[in-house]
């Protein structure tokens, strides 16, 4: 409030016709009155990125600082500042634009957007990490697909074990159809058969028994 009073006093004392000022003159006026956020926004809109950066640094506006560094071509510095201000979604977007998909995924996972993070892990061909993020986002079918793409046998086993554990929890919660579908995908047909019996679903019972017979 004090800074706005300073602005008003300056306009009155110096008989400044505020509305006749161009954008950069207004920005300079805001800057001189320590209204740095408004100065920074005007400078940024007018592509005066160095002046915008100086203004945003004065008021410690994280987003403004990040965008200004990015516009100045200092992407690494922009990402560094984004991390400092916990702007992980913004850091992820910058990494995406630079083609660093694995880092983008990491930042989006920090930003509590696991499904978005998973899509970037897929682009980076990090299938186990993608599967884990899909699990976190409750996209079980997509998690199953990604785990099955793992070339590391230990990661494949671990990923499928997580899905099996979820299937068991669903069974215990009496969500038999959801549990059945997961057990069937995992080719755990004995467990699928138990779910089918719980549902008294003759068609699924026959299907599970057929698959068990085929495997024997």
pLDDT digits (tens, 9 = 90+) for 129-143: 999 999 999 999 999
121 to 32, 106, 116, 175: CA distances (angstroms): 46, 8, 9, 30
Higher pLDDT, residue 146 or 29: 146
Check whether 10 has a pLDDT greater than 70.
no
pLDDT confidence of residue 215: 84
pLDDT confidence of residue 21: 83
φ/ψ bin of 21: left (φ > 0), alpha (ψ from -120 to 50), beta (otherwise): beta
What are the tens digits of pLDDT across the range 172-188? 999 999 999 999 999 99
What are the tens digits of pLDDT across the range 38-59? 999 999 999 999 999 999 999 9
Please list, in sequence order, all residues whose beta carbon lies within 8 angstroms of the beta carbon of residue 40, skipping any fewer than 6 positions away. 52, 53, 55, 56, 59, 61, 64, 68
Check whether 20 has a pLDDT greater than 80.
no
pLDDT confidence of residue 32: 87
And the tokens for 69? 């560094």
pLDDT confidence of residue 11: 46
Q: 108, 80, 75: which is closest to 126 by C-alpha?
A: 108
- Over residues 147-154, the mean pLDDT reads 97
For the chain, how are helix, strand and coil distributed in percent, rounded to 5? 80, 0, 20
What are the tens digits of pLDDT across the range 64-82? 999 999 999 999 999 999 9
């Amino acid at each position: 409030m004090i800074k706005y009073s300073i602005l008003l006093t300056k306009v009155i004392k110096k008989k400044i016709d505020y509305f006749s000022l161009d954008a950069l003159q207004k920005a300079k006026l805001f800057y001189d009155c320590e209204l740095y956020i408004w100065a920074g926004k005007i400078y940024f809109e007018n592509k005066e990125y160095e002046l915008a950066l100086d203004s945003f640094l004065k008021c410690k506006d994280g987003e403004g600082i990040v965008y200004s560094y990015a516009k100045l071509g200092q992407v690494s510095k922009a990402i560094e500042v984004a991390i400092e201000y916990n702007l992980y979604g913004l850091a992820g977007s910058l990494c995406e634009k630079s083609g660093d998909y694995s880092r983008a995924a990491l930042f989006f996972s920090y930003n509590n957007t696991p499904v978005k993070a998973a899509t970037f892990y897929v682009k980076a061909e990090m299938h186990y990490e993608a599967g884990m993020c899909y699990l976190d986002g409750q996209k079980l079918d997509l998690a199953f697909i990604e785990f099955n793409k793992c070339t590391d046998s230990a990661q494949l086993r671990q990923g499928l074990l997580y899905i099996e554990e979820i299937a068991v929890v669903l069974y215990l919660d009496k969500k038999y159809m959801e549990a059945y579908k997961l057990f069937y995908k995992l080719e755990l047909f004995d467990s699928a058969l138990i779910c089918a019996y719980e549902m008294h679903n003759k068609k699924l019972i026959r299907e599970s028994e057929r698959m068990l017979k085929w495997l024997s």
